[in-house]
Amino acid sequence: MPAAALSAVILACTAPAVHDGDTLRCDGERIRLFGVDAPEVRRGKKPAEPFADQARDELIRLTRGRVGCRPVDLDRYGRIVAKCWSTATPDVNAALIRSGLAVEYKRYSQGAYAKAEGEARAAHRGRWARPAR
């Protein structure tokens, strides 16, 4: 499907399968959250990055009810890149960044989630937490 035609589609599902902190499967489609960069989960012998499991768990929490996603592009792996919402939040992408467990992927989002990341930093959430003394 051409990228321009994607924006007219809305993918909807209930409790999608979550792979990691920025990827899920909804309505049979692999979806990468637009503008979100979450730590990588364990792959083979390579250990998970810090906060990877927490980011995955937060995405699961944010997507337990009904979920809708509006595609904006396709990535190089053939996944749909989308902005999503759920019964838990009107903007899953921003909520995940606001949690401090993921950061804005500025290369693609061009500052669309700067406010959400700023809130996480200011509140010292997730990866922005101050080290214990």
The answer to whether 40 is a known catalytic residue is yes
101 φ, ψ (degrees, to nearest 5) = -95, -5
89-107 tens-digit pLDDT: 999 999 999 999 999 999 9
CATH of the domain at 117: 2.40.50.90
Give the residue numbers spanning the domain of 108.
Answer: 3-128
Residue 133 resides in a domain: no
In a domain, 53, yes or no: yes
Q: What percent of the chain has pLDDT over 90?
A: 84
Total tally of structural domains belonging to the chain:
1
- Which parts of the chain have pLDDT scores under 50? none
pLDDT at 2: 54
Under DSSP, the state recorded for 88 is S
* 87 lies in some domain: yes
91 domain-assigned: yes
Q: One of 25, 29, 30, 40 is an active-site residue; which one? A: 40
* φ/ψ of residue 24, rounded to 5: -145, 170
Residue 115 within any structural domain of the chain: yes
64 is catalytic: no
Q: Which pLDDT belongs to residue 6?
A: 63
DSSP state of 110: T
Residues 56, 58, 79, 127: which is the catalytic one? 79
